[in-house]
């Protein structure tokens, strides 16, 4: 009965809730307010109430924010007034946790100079470094290129004991890496990845990119909507990477599988709002494995190809060819595969990583 009377509230409480937090919204302010009123009414019937409400374009409630401007949101720091996200990490703190909390630093660490001063008195270990990398909680993968670079660097730590003090060469290397940690909160990206002005009949188009190298592979999914005939918006929706150890062609195939799995999760979440789904790889070998019915495949390749084809059919609704080739220079998933000199500007607002390349804003017939 309540589901029929308050459909917006029903969707929010069933699909957009995590434990006691609700992260939801609507396409207009009027519908958003109706949704909020519906949620409040439904909760009231059960004897519950909302602790606070935070709206896009407004400053957060005092109960939700410690600084009056930002609040925590799924591991990120969200500025509701600007509607922007940044990594939800605190200042560089290398003290051990006691009862779930770290002892504060003697002095605030806000600059690279502060970080250098702090690190000069610390003996770095494998456990300390891995612990700092894991603090960058990024469930959507917006900052995955930076996190992957740190993961790749940890390969030199394999075989060392967790609490073993690293050699002088590794100490210096990781001090330089951790100094950049203080700059991560400066990264800002838009929270909402769809255009405000768009064709109401247009559905979301997903461009799914896969790439791999010798030691890692990754996938990135970009969302867009047609803003005018033949012109599309484009913005990063989700990304994922993992360390790999097979041959490069096999790693490329595993990256396509990772891409298909990520796209499947995105499509499952967005449902009927998704229209076209386009998959791309720059590996001709992996593409031929997935496209040819006559090539005899080894078990490693065969199992992954079968899973990929199944996921492609589930996400596109067709068994026709939906996996295409893209030139490596035009594949943004390349940022997820090998060692690069990546600064915060690479993953910030306005970058290609966040907003896509020019070809990704064209109609399918023109971009492929």
Residue by residue, pLDDT tens for the chain (368 residues) are 777 788 888 888 888 888 888 888 887 888 888 888 888 888 888 888 888 899 998 999 888 888 888 998 888 999 999 999 999 888 888 878 777 778 888 888 888 888 888 888 888 888 888 888 888 889 999 999 998 988 888 888 888 888 888 888 888 888 888 888 888 888 999 998 888 766 667 889 999 999 999 999 999 999 999 888 888 999 999 999 999 999 999 999 999 999 999 999 999 988 888 999 999 999 999 999 998 877 788 999 999 999 999 999 999 998 888 999 999 999 999 999 877 777 788 899 999 999 999 999 998 776 66
Question: Does residue 267 share a domain with residue 140?
Answer: no
- Domain assignment of residue 18, yes or no: yes
Position 199 scores a pLDDT of 66
The verdict on residue 344 lying in a domain is yes
Q: Are residues 50 and 110 in the same domain?
A: no
Judgement on whether residues 127 and 63 belong to the same structural domain of the protein: no
What are the Cα distances from residue 138, in Å, to 31, 141, 179, 303, 321?
30, 5, 20, 30, 32
CA–CA separation, 165 and 264 (whole Å): 43
Do both 260 and 351 map to the same domain?
yes
Q: Looking at the structure, do residues 21 and 118 belong to the same domain, yes or no?
A: no
d(C-alpha 304, C-alpha 67), whole Å: 48
Q: Are residues 273 and 228 in the same domain?
A: yes
Q: Are residues 19 and 129 in the same domain?
A: no
Same domain, 35 and 77: yes
In the prediction, which pLDDT does 118 show?
A: 84
- Supply the pTM of this predicted model: 0.91
Residue 14: strand, helix, or coil: helix
What pLDDT shows up at residue 204? 92
pLDDT for 108: 83
Judgement on whether residues 256 and 205 belong to the same structural domain of the protein: yes
Q: In this structure, are 208 and 267 located in the same domain?
A: yes
Looking at the structure, tell me whether residues 229 and 336 fall in a common domain: yes
Identify the domain boundary among 154, 186, 218: 186
Residue 214 sits in which domain range? Answer: 193-367
Residue 289: partners with Cβ closer than 8 Å, 6 or more residues away:
253, 295, 297, 301, 305
> Could you tell me if 213 and 315 lie in one domain?
yes
Overall domain count for the chain? 3
Q: Outline where the chain has alpha helix (H).
A: 2-5, 7-15, 29-45, 112-119, 126-134, 144-153, 168-179, 248-270, 284-291, 299-316, 352-355, 364-367
Asked if residue 92 belongs to a domain, the reply is no
């Amino acid at each position: 009965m309540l589901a029929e009377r308050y459909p917006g509230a029903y969707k929010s409480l069933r699909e957009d809730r995590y434990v006691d937090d609700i992260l939801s919204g609507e396409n207009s302010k009027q519908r958003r307010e109706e949704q909020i009123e519906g949620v409040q009414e439904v909760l009231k019937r059960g004897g519950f109430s909302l602790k606070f409400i935070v709206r896009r374009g407004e400053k957060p409630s005092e109960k939700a924010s410690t600084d009056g401007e930002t609040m925590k949101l799924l591991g990120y720091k969200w500025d509701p007034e600007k509607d922007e996200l940044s990594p939800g990490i605190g200042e560089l703190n290398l003290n051990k946790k006691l009862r779930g909390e770290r002892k504060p630093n003697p002095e605030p660490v806000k600059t690279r100079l502060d970080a250098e001063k702090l690190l000069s008195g610390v003996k770095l270990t494998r456990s300390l470094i891995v612990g700092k990398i894991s603090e960058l909680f990024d469930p959507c993968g917006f900052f995955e290129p930076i996190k992957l670079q740190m993961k790749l660097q940890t390969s030199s730590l394999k075989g060392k004991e967790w609490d073993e003090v690293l050699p002088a060469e590794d100490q210096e290397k990781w001090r330089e890496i951790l100094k950049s940690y203080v700059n991560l909160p400066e990264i800002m990206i838009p929270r909402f990845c769809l255009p405000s002005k768009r064709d109401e009949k247009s559905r979301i188009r997903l461009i799914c990119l896969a790439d791999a190298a010798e030691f890692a592979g990754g996938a990135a999914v970009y969302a867009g909507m047609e803003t005018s005939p033949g012109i599309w918006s484009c913005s990063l929706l989700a990304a994922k990477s993992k360390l790999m150890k097979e041959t490069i062609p096999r790693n490329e195939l595993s990256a396509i599988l990772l891409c298909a799995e990520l796209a499947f999760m995105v499509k499952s979440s967005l449902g009927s709002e998704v229209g076209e789904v386009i998959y791309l790889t720059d590996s001709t070998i992996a593409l031929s494995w997935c496209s040819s019915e006559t090539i005899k495949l080894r078990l490693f390749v065969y199992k992954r190809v079968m899973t990929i084809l199944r996921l492609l059919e589930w996400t596109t609704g067709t068994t026709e060819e939906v996996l295409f080739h893209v030139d490596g220079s035009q594949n943004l998933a390349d940022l997820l595969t090998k060692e690069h000199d990546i600064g915060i500007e690479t993953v910030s607002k306005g970058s290609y990583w966040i907003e896509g390349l020019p070809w990704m804003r064209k109609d399918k017939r023109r971009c492929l």
